[in-house]
Amino acid sequence: MQKNQKKKTPVILSLKGKQKKVPVQKETVFTILQPLLFILPIVFIAFFPILNNELTNWDDPDLIIDNMLIRDFSFEGIRKIFTTFYFGNFQPLHLLSYSVEYHFWQLNPAGYHAVSLVMFLITTALVYYFIYQISNKNKIVAIIATLLFAINAMRVESVAWASERKDMLYAMFYMASLIAYVKYIIVLKEPVKRLKIKYIVYAFLFFILAVFSKVMAVSIVGPMVMLDYFYARKFSMRLILEKIPYVIVSLIIGLAQIMAVASAGTIDKSNLFSFTDRLLIVCRNLMFYFYKILIPVNLSAFNPYPSRAPGIPWPAEFFISLFFVLILLALLIWSFRKTRIIIFCTGFFVATLALVLQYVAIGPTMFNERYSLIPSVALSFALASGIFFLVSRFPDYKNIFYGATGLYLVLMFYLTFTRCDVWQTSLTLWDDAINQFPHASIPLNGRGKYYGMDLGDRTKAIEDFTASIRYNPEYEDPYSNRGIVYCLNGKLDSAIIDFNTAIGLKKDNYKAIANRGIAYAQTNRPELALNDFDQCIRLKPEKYHIYLNRGICYIQLNKPEKALVDFNKGIEINPTNAEFYLRRSQAWYNLGKYADAYRDVQTARNSGINVDNAYFDQLKKAAAK
């Protein structure tokens, strides 16, 4: 007789690296995902306030409100999205998601926020399953880690800011790719013959979708290498070959992104700092991402570089961060022979942040909450594993450990829920940033735009633009914005001075050049206005407003044929803008085509444009003849 064989049980690594037996339980998809029935409603409630938020004036106008690319949901429109560098990025799936939404609910903010929230719930579910996999099916670790990841005020920027849809998209596909890669590693270890290559193919396809959503997805090779280490895969040529397609795609997307950034003229501040400065910035940012994820207080949508006069040292936190990095290295060395979890989580965390630690500083912000989205997965897993280890090691105190975790999560829920209200309007957003950084030029400029454009308070708008200029005289945008308010106040000469200053700071400043052209036209200098409008069309031929302005200028110069060409082009780009029809009616009238003029003025009037009754009657009579 054969000896009775003992039932095999899987093993998991404890924090000390010892094998710990757990009983085998047959699980179905429902039993695996059942905790999500508890997790997802909590996450939904935590972020529910964003559904009442407006679109803000920070990137939302460029990416959504005034973006003509997303308004053409046709094959040709989609082709343009996938072949265009837009707003300094190549992220076609990001724009395609807006195009789908615009097709259904135009510019209703609730629709955009609802989609972002749904995507975040999907990402949360994927994070749960990923942690469930790598914790060897430990539901307690998976539940705690998922809650720590999702209910955190650092997530709010990614979810509540409509322009950060790319975060939601890339996070979904990124986590799906890592889940497929873990499945591939697990299947490789199984003795049964199964089709193993399909999982690495799935992982690669999800990666492609991720990089088409946000270029930060190129960081995925780092977590893949850390997963190889975590599962103790032996170094081989296979490990290298698996990563080559990812590296090739990353290089191609990276080059495309460099070209996109160059086309947008994004500011590179790296030449302002020495090697030592940049090293301090990297260490400080690494420490801050760790600290802010754990204690998400005093958050701000805008985090400027500290103001430093020549010879003045960096603030103390930059030097403290060096000790943080040294302690982290010491922890890694200590953990090397004890557990793989600490090295895995640290490597995952650093690898997913490496591109945004600002060693090469691009843009005006030093630290961004949204960049913590994927790195938080690793830190949440480390914390949840630590809590589970303490409960296992000291079972008599498990109620204390779980109770403390619960209280912490309640606090995180409160911070997350209240943080959503900061993104309610542009005013609440910029007020929050200015409260923390009262001398930051960009928030002052943003609030000034909201005062001027949305609230019609020109006095407060000018105050904010002037303060923005005072704190950073090299920042061109507030000059241009203040010039617009001066135009509205009839101070055209002051406006032209501001536009000239803005153009002097940035030669291809489309907004300043376009508005200077309008000011020239209003001061009866149409030739100068035409020069500015011509330059604007060379810079951004897709902007429909400029064709309207140049067409009006041609009407002033009694060149109705040229005006007609511009109005037709504007209607081609944006057929919903009724002012083009009103202006084109004037061009038709000057050309003696009264029936066409009357048809256009009727279209304008039916679209809600205020048409002078005398002008309407005049065209009606002319058309009747």
> pLDDT digit string (tens) for 85-97?
887 778 899 999 9
Got the DSSP string for 83-101? T--BTTB--HHHHHHHHHH
340 located within any domain? no
Percent of the chain beyond pLDDT 90? 72
Length of the chain equals: 625
DSSP state of 499: H
Query: How many Å apart are CA 590 and CA 596, to the nearest integer?
Result: 11
459 located within any domain? yes
129 located within any domain? no
Measure the CA dihedral 142/148/149/152, to 10°.
160
- Tell me phi and psi for residue 310, to 5 degrees: -55, 130
Beta bridge partners of 365: 304
Query: How many Å apart are CA 144 and CA 377, to the nearest integer?
Result: 11
Q: Based on the structure, what is the number of domains in the chain?
A: 1
What is the pLDDT, as a whole number, of residue 338? Answer: 85
Residue 251: name the closest of 225, 215, 202, 223 by CA.
215
Q: Encoding tokens for residue 95?
A: 């724009």
Fill in the amino acid letter for 90: F
What is the pLDDT, as a whole number, of residue 194? Answer: 62
What is the pLDDT, as a whole number, of residue 625? Answer: 75
What interhelical angle do 375-393 and 109-134 show, nearest 10? 50
What is the pLDDT, as a whole number, of residue 306? Answer: 83
Beta bridge partners of 86: 89
- The predicted-structure confidence for 297-326, as pLDDT tens digits, reads as follows 999 999 998 876 666 788 888 889 999 999
Query: How many Å apart are CA 538 and CA 540, to the nearest integer?
Result: 6
Rg over alpha carbons for the chain, rounded to the nearest Å, is 29
Q: Do residues 173 and 213 make contact, with C-beta atoms less than 8 angstroms apart? A: yes
- H helix and E strand count, the chain: 29, 2
447 located within any domain? yes
What is the pLDDT, as a whole number, of residue 305? Answer: 87
50 located within any domain? no
123 located within any domain? no
Mean pLDDT, the chain cut into blocks of 10 residues (625 residues total):
42 44 67 95 98 95 92 90 82 93 94 97 98 95 98 97 95 97 89 75 96 93 96 91 93 78 54 80 93 95 81 83 91 88 95 88 83 97 96 95 97 98 97 95 96 95 97 94 96 96 94 96 93 94 92 93 96 92 94 93 90 88 85
The C-alpha angle 594, 599, 605, rounded to 5 degrees, equals 120
Q: Encoding tokens for residue 63?
A: 């990416």
156 located within any domain? no
| CATH code of 491's domain | 1.25.40.10
Print the domain residue range for 459.
427-588
What is the pLDDT, as a whole number, of residue 261? Answer: 63
DSSP state of 11: E
150 located within any domain? no
